[in-house]
Structure 1
Amino acid sequence: MLAAAVWLLGFAATGPGASAQQFEKNILTGGPSGTYIQIGRDLASVANACGLEYTIRESAGSLENFLGVRKLPHTQFGIVQSDVLEYLKTFSSEDPDIARAILGVRIALPLYNEEVHILARRDITSLSDLNGRRVAVGVEDSGTFLTASLVLDLAGVQPAARVTINPTASLERLLANEIDAFFYVAGAPTKLFQSAEIDSTKFHLLPIDDPTLTSVYIPTSIPAGTYPFQAEETPVVAVKAVLMTYEYTPKKNAYHRDSCKAVSDLSKLILTNFRQLQEVGHPKWREVNLEDVPPGWEVGSCSSAGLEQDYELQCGALPVQSALPESLESKANAAYRAKICADIGC
């Protein structure tokens, strides 16, 4: 477990810092066919239109992205599931390196909700039925893996085997009767479950309505007909994806200064092009609520700087529309919300 954590934490003991190579701006996303990489490409496209270059990098998913932003040079952004913090605190609470890694992470912007899919055999009707079964939980260090690990532990479920394979391989093994169920955390609808090979008489989406899980995650449902095999609405839980960054200190060195500017620039670009992203970008952009900062996350100061009305970017800025009243939340998050409302309305 935490294979990426061990490697990445050893890669750069001093955290994000200066490098001899030419300065780059990178965004860690996910696999080649997933939603993360499509969202990343949308961001790169908006930046390119403004004459700025952000490189989109594939990855294994949330945990690798989290640690990559925290430790790899020239890696200012990563798209992660918001429960990555809870995962690291739960499974690595006694690891001082992990504890230090958590301290510097920040949110640049909240994104969309990702539904927790569990495709199972028809004779499995509840989470408790996964006890003693063969369950695929995603590739180690992926977002699916960390959420599946938390869900099973929070629900007190003990599978006979937790199989660490990717979603495509999981579906193949389920159809071949080599596993009994598998997790896949992705924004619905996801292409994987459009397969005509999924026989509705043999397989179904497992309902997730455990009170503990609905208190930790976002209760939601996948509407009937979302997938060809799914005739009824299915209650599930969801986890929010976020664009994660690091709390760079511009006065520390040139690398921190340039990285902070990269974060500020992209934050401004997203804000000023938000309507365009919703209209022509990935459909999940239509579900993004820029005010919805998930619990446990703090908005980065570099991101907040990019949202200031007078922040200079060659693409310009939208006119001020309104302001959000003060709240009891942290000053950083309250200021962030006010800036969002001032530019796109609330």
Structure 2
Amino acid sequence: MFKCVAALVAFVALLVPGLGKAAEFEKNIMTGGPQGTYIRIGRDIADLGKSCGLTLNVRETAGSLENFVGVRNRRNTQFGIVQNDVLEYLKTFEANDPEVQQAVRGVRIMFPLYNEEVHLLARSDIRSVAELAGKKVAIGVKDSGTFLTASLILDILQVKLGERVLVNPDAALPKLQSGEIDALFYVAGAPAPLFRDNRIDGAKFHLLPITDAPLLATYIRSRIERGTYDFQTEPVDLIAVKAVMMTYDYDVTRNAYQRESCKAVSDFSSLILNNLDRLKENGHPKWKDVDLTALPPGWQVGVCVRAGMALDYRPACIAQGAPDDASGGNEEYLDLLKQRLKQN
């Protein structure tokens, strides 16, 4: 009888994938909208994990603010991509705001990524940010990085809109094309698929330059070269923010969940650090701009990230005997990164 049951279980295990072995610990990265750069970057990281036998679920979100909170509060969510000006905003208010203090507690930098250009697509008769006064402008959905950046820019420059339209850029573009709104903000690494993959009439719409001096204390000078988008015939000088990958500072002594999450962070830290050339060659074009040493001042790197940066660290797939393609010649780069960490 028992032999028959055992044989039946063994037979069913052959038919049902995964039966008889422990389920893989769930890992998620919060990214952004379906046509944004964040989600493409997240998929590149997930593909890197897949090559190591590690599953990373790429989650579509509203953007930076949701991602920051999600890393701290959402279960099985170890990673999120956030704009640097969101971090600056939170740091500014942390000292005197208990709610902000609670929001940032335990959240840590994993790696700085690339610069994201602030796209401001407007009717062709609007020539400057100041001329948006009194106009209807889409500034992104609440909790998105675009929403925060657009709000900060307008507040810094004291531009009073006729209406701040709270829709995401995907929904805002057809509204602009139909004349329902006058302009839209979109913070995304160029080339942004939204503008690259949709037909935009260059005679009716253009990217506004954003060069106002008061913004340069917070944002980075940048330029979108001519021809980046089909409708763009001239280079455009504007500003950019830094995209940053965030995680949580897990405590391996606390419980099994914290240990597994910390291990996931260490594994992906090691994989990204040691496969950056591969990402630059095969991933989204923005990987070519990534400098993992460009750490935002005032933010700490978590202990699980530091563990994964050790030269002798090996991700789970390599420890289990997979080909060792995640090590190789990064000693000088790692030394520079550690120097930057000491400065923070």
TM-score by shorter chain over 0.5: yes
**Counterpart residue number, 2:108:** 106
Q: What do the CA deviations read for 1:43-83 (whole angstroms, capped 9, x no partner)?
A: 11111211222222111111111100011111110011111
**In 2: Cα distance, 1:24 partner to 1:194 partner:** 34
CA positional deviation for 1:168: 2.2
Q: CA RMSD in A?
A: 2.4
Preserved contact between residue 79 and residue 242 of structure 1 (Cα < 8 Å): yes
Equivalent residue, structure 2, for 1:218? 220
Give 1:40's match in structure 2, choosing from 29, 39, 42: 42
Residue 7 of structure 2 corresponds to: none
Q: How many residues are aligned here? A: 313
Q: Is the 8 A contact 2:35 2:170 kept in 1?
A: no
Kept in 1, the 8 Å contact 2:36–2:194? The answer is no
Q: What does residue 18 of structure 1 align with?
A: none
CA distance in 2, matches of 1:93, 1:320: 38
Q: Can you list the C-alpha shifts for 1:190-220, whole angstroms capped at 9, x where unaligned?
A: 2222367432232211110011212211101
Choose which of 278, 288, 291 in structure 2 pairs with 1:276.
278
3-state SS, counterpart of residue 265 of structure 2: helix
Q: Deviations over 1:276-297 (max 9, x none)?
A: 1111111111111111112343
**Bigger Rg over Cα:** 2
Structure 2: gaps spanning 5 or more residues? 1-22, 319-323
Q: CA 1:271–1:320 in structure 2 vs 1: closer, same or farther (change >3 Å)? A: closer
CA distance 1:62–1:280, change in 2 (3 Å): same
SS in 1 for 2:88: helix
Identity %: 56
1:9-47 superposed Cα distances (whole Å, 9 cap, x missing partner): xxxxxxxxxxxx984211111122322112111111111
Distance 1:56 1:301 in 2: 23
Counterpart CA distance in 2 for 1:309 and 1:329 is 17
Establish whether residue 303 from structure 1 lines up as the match of residue 308 from structure 2: no
Distance 2:261 2:343 in 1: 19
Which sits farther off after the overlay, 49-58 or 178-187?
A: 49-58
Counting only pairs closer than 5 Å after superposition, residues 222-233 of structure 1 correspond to structure 2 as: 222-233=224-235
CA drift at 1:250: 1.4
Match of 2:83 in 1: 81
Contact 1:207 1:234 (8 Å CA) reproduced = yes
| Larger displacement relative to structure 2 (47-56 or 105-114) | 47-56
Structure 2 residue matching 1:76: 3-state secondary structure: strand
Aligned to 2:146: 144
| One-letter identity of the residue aligned with 1:215 | A
Confirm whether residue 317 of structure 1 aligns to residue 327 of structure 2. Answer: yes
For 1:234 and 1:86, the matched residues in 2 are separated by 25
8 Å contact from structure 2 (residues 93, 100) kept in 1:
no
Read off the aligned partner of 2:33 and give its amino acid letter.
G
Shift of 1:254: 2.0
Taking structure 1 as the reference length, what is the TM-score of the superposition?
Answer: 0.84
- Contact kept in structure 1, 2:311 and 2:331, CA below 8 Å: no
Compute the displacement of 1:92 (Å).
Answer: 8.4
Deviation at 1:320, TM superposition (A): 4.8
- Aligned residue type for 1:318: G
8 Å contact kept, 1:272–1:318: yes
Please say if residues 251 and 262 of structure 2, whose CA atoms lie closer than 8 Å, have aligned partners that are also in contact: yes
Matches within 5 A, 1:1-346: 23-88=25-90, 95-194=97-196, 197-313=199-315, 314=318, 315=324, 316-322=326-332, 324=335, 331=342, 333=344
Alpha-carbon distance between aligned partners in 2 of 1:165 and 1:211, rounded to the nearest angstrom: 28
Does the 8 Å contact 2:111/2:245 carry over to 1? yes
CA contact under 8 A between 1:30 and 1:59: conserved in structure 2? yes
The structure 1 segments of at least 4 consecutive aligned residues displaced by more than 3 Å after TM superposition are 87-95, 194-197, 323-330
**Cα distance change of structure 1 residues 91 and 121 upon mapping to structure 2, 3 Å threshold:** farther
The 1:281–1:185 alpha-carbon spacing in structure 2 relative to 1, beyond 3 Å, is same
In structure 1, distance between residues paired with 2:297 and 2:271: 25
- Native 8 Å contact 1:126 1:208 kept in 2: yes
Q: Which amino acid aligns with 1:186?
A: A
Give the 3 Å change call, closer, same or farther, for CA 302–92 of structure 1 in structure 2.
closer
Mapped to 1, the partners of 2:343 and 2:250 lie a distance apart of 15
Does the C-alpha gap of structure 1 residues 66 and 321 become closer, same or farther in structure 2, counting only changes over 3 Å? Answer: closer
Counterpart CA distance in 1 for 2:59 and 2:301 is 23
CA pair 255-150 structure 1, distance change in 2 beyond 3 A: same
Deviates more, 1:246-255 or 1:114-123: 246-255
Distance between the aligned counterparts of 1:325 and 1:190, measured in 2?
A: 31
Residues 181-190 or 287-296, more deviating: 287-296
SS in 1 for 2:77: coil
Which stretch shifts more, 274-283 or 95-104? 95-104
